[in-house]
Chain A
């Protein structure tokens, strides 16, 4: 290594370490804040000083008290909705993306353009009639009401289509010779090849569902059916004494998605790199 690149390495290291500190600070701040009396925080702001003398576990013990019970309902709802949404969304979107990539059929291009159109149009625009529709389908305050309208998502379709385009076509013929149905070929032969894409999309879709706000805010109505973001947001109100739960609740709400990310992380970037399969 030349001296110049050694210098560059040092500079880069310094740069990325500083950047990481800045980027991670809000999360560290939240963690620290969750050990401080919440009312104090809202009145005096989060201080740059540690203020260890203020530290208390009250915010956490409050979560596990009777008043905190609803928090775990929210947690359960978020877990259930996110799992169902992610599984179904991956499966269905992969099917559609694969179908669009592998087969030649009438209307294929129209369908693909429609996928792009859905991708480009904010759901917020159709949210009023969509809500009325959800009511007539009796899906209000129901997990499926949150999940179904968006389960076939354009972004993963687009992604899976791009990914499937690069799959080796000879597997198809081999499968057909073996007497598999077309779906069988997909599930048995092609899906395993698409695993990296599933890894990347699993993180993105789970992330989307876990943190989704506007639609669940509209569909879910009773306190025991809310998801974590909606429940937490409902605590930001001057009409209650909920700030204590807000911060500890926010900290714990990040945990599952961080675990998921840690598990799939190595897969994530390589999965997004469609070229991964080629090599």
Chain B
């Protein structure tokens, strides 16, 4: 250890430190550094790397630039299938997971519902399970044999036993049901939190004006839920296109006829199973472009950039 520092610079250092700690100009950086550090290290750097790799052929001990070849290769039947599955999945999850939780949240915010808190918790419980656990249960419920839960139930309606995970329509149905089951509670909570911020007076004055239940819902509740709806929409689009685990637990990423192949599943397959890191990166960049495009359009359309505060 070097003991060179005399008292004066030492005091100087302590002084600078102290003044830094008290400085209001420097203070923000005391708080935001974790984000800056992790952003640069764990996000920006890999992101740039992904872009670079997407133009490379990456083999052990042999990395070379190959121009747009990876992107050129992308236009094939399998990638198109992945695009279709991810898009369908996103579409259906949006269709279920925005209106239904919204309405349920409105119900659960109403004094007419007894034991509201109890039901709120119950509907949230599925969110506590991991996709893996949920996947195991759903696989059992949607078993392909005659006696499985779902086949028994559809049997009551005269529908023959289905091989649920072996057809693209039923496979998609099970995926969407799994997602709905797990995410419903979370979205309800988001909507509930927004509902509780709506001033009661608004409703009261509307009632004085003679507004009915539906008037109040359309004219007050819905417009005021817009910010949270946009937020839920944004993360749902993201979640839909980034879906991988659900498909992994049902089919270990090898679904029959690629009925459950998602974009991320394709990326995982190429990157980690075939070690086509360059090609995998090109898939990633394409996915990124896709999500950004959709979200920018969506945000422009609904206008989050007009700021909440």
Contacts and interface: CB of A to CB of B under 8 A. Distances in A.
The answer to A–B direct touch (Cβ < 8 A) is: yes
Interface of A: 5, 8-9, 12-13, 15-16, 19-20, 23-24, 26-27, 29-30, 33, 41-49, 92-93, 95-96, 98-100, 103, 105, 108, 111, 114-115, 118-122, 124-130, 132-133, 148-152, 155, 157, 162, 165, 181-183, 186, 207, 210-211, 213-214, 218, 228-229, 232-233, 236-237, 246-247, 250, 253-254, 257-258, 261, 265-266, 268-270, 272-275
Given A20-B123, A151-B34, A182-B23, 20 more contacts: A12-B107, A24-B122, A41-B140, A46-B141, A96-B31, A96-B32, A99-B31, A103-B31, A111-B35, A119-B238, A127-B271, A133-B49, A152-B39, A182-B22, A211-B131, A232-B132, A232-B136, A253-B130, A272-B192, A273-B196
Contacts of B252: 236-237
B45 interface: yes
A55 to B, nearest CB: 16
Contacts of B147: 44-45, 47-49
Contacts of B211: none
Given A23-B122, A29-B141, A265-B121, A47 B249 contact: no
A270 B117 CA distance: 11
Given A24-B122, A261-B124, A111 B32 contact: yes
Contacts of A43: 145
Contacts of A46: 140-141, 143, 148-149
Interface in B128-144: 128-134, 136-138, 140-141, 143-144
A44 B123 CA distance: 29
28 contacts: A30-B133, A44-B148, A46-B141, A46-B148, A48-B147, A96-B34, A103-B27, A115-B35, A119-B238, A121-B291, A124-B264, A126-B49, A127-B271, A130-B42, A133-B45, A150-B42, A151-B34, A151-B38, A152-B34, A182-B21, A211-B130, A228-B130, A232-B132, A237-B252, A250-B137, A258-B128, A265-B121, A268-B124
B173 to A, nearest CB: 15
A119 B267 CA distance: 20
Interface size class of B (residues with CB under 8 A): 35 or more
A128 B249 contact: no
